[in-house]
Structure 1
Amino acid sequence: MSRYRPPAPPSSPYITPEGAARLREELDRLWRVERPEVVRALAAAAAEGDRSENAEYTYRKKQLGGIDRRIRFLRKRLAVLKVVDRSPAGTEQVFFGAWVTAEDEAGTVARFRIVGPDEFDHAPEYISMDAPLARALMKRSPGDEVTLEVAAGRKTWVLLEVSYERPG
């Protein structure tokens, strides 16, 4: 069996100012705090002698490799991201950064924010603009209905409200 993995499809390059700041803080923390600590621990483990039987040395090498991979990813990703720091001209439609309130056919009301794929996992109320529901809601106005094919069948959502201000 081959270890080849096809490349992932490119994700949207948009991010909110808060998301960009969070990624820059993570990069700074990895580079200035975590990586030097792991390098010190790795040097101490290497000084203990035989590396072939040194579990601490092996663990620290893997840990350092993971940190370095994340640093490389963040540097490349931050270079291509476009920070969207203002609301669109037409604030009655759904675009990137919108806070959306929608109701499904069961009467369940959900409120979420449409953000970039690099930040949707930072808050439970964030969804990626690449998600099927977000794509279906783009350029829609309150009162519009969208129907999606989901694992359990079809699901219909009614767009209730669009806002570009954080709910209070």
Structure 2
Amino acid sequence: MGRWRPPRPKSSAYITAAGARALTAELRELWKVERPKVTEVVHEAAKNGDRSENGDYIYGKKRLREIDSRVRFLTKRLESLTIVDRLPSDQSRVLFGAWVTLEDDDGVERCYQIVGPDEFNINEGKISMDSPLAQAMLKKQVDDEVMVRSADNEKNYYISAIEYKPYD
């Protein structure tokens, strides 16, 4: 099996202000804190002689490659993102940044915020605007039906609330 993988589908280029701050903080942490530490470890390990059997050197170089790759990705991604820091004028519809409360056919309610693909976290109730659920909800209003199809089933939800919280 070869190493070639098909390219990922292009993700949306929107992010909340909080998400942009988190990515910027990660970039700063990698570049200003972690990379200098790992560079120092590699430098000290290189002084010890034979590098082919030196674990600190080998794993340090591997970690440096990982850090550099992530730094390149974050730098390019932050340049291409559009930071959404204003609330929409029509807050009766589900748009980017909305907190949406969904009710399923059994009466169980779940609340999700629609965010950019770089900041989704299902444990915090944040779903990517590129996800099938978010795509089905976009531009809907309270009491509208949302149908999400997956490979093996179909699930219906009803929008019971839409809320926009001010961006910090």
TM range (shorter): over 0.9
* Equivalent in the alignment of 1:26: 26
* Equivalent in the alignment of 1:52: 52
- Structure 2: runs of 5+ lacking an equivalent: none
* Equivalent in the alignment of 1:98: 98
- Structure 1: runs of 5+ lacking an equivalent: none
Percent identity between the two aligned chains = 49
Q: How many residues align?
A: 166
* Equivalent in the alignment of 2:111: 111
Shift of 1:151: 4.5
Question: How is 1:30-41 mapped onto 2 (pairs within 5 angstroms)?
Answer: 30-41=30-41
TM-score (norm 1): 0.95
The question of 1:70 aligning with 2:51 is answered: no
* Equivalent in the alignment of 1:81: 81
Shift of 1:122: 8.0
Instruction: Measure the CA separation in 1 of the matches of 2:58 and 2:145.
Output: 55
* Per-residue deviation, residues 16-56 of structure 1 (Å, max 9, x unmatched): 00000110111011110000000000001111110011111
TM-score (norm 2): 0.95
* Equivalent in the alignment of 1:11: 11
Instruction: Measure the CA separation in 2 of the matches of 1:100 and 1:147.
Output: 15
* Equivalent in the alignment of 2:141: 141
Shift of 1:121: 2.6
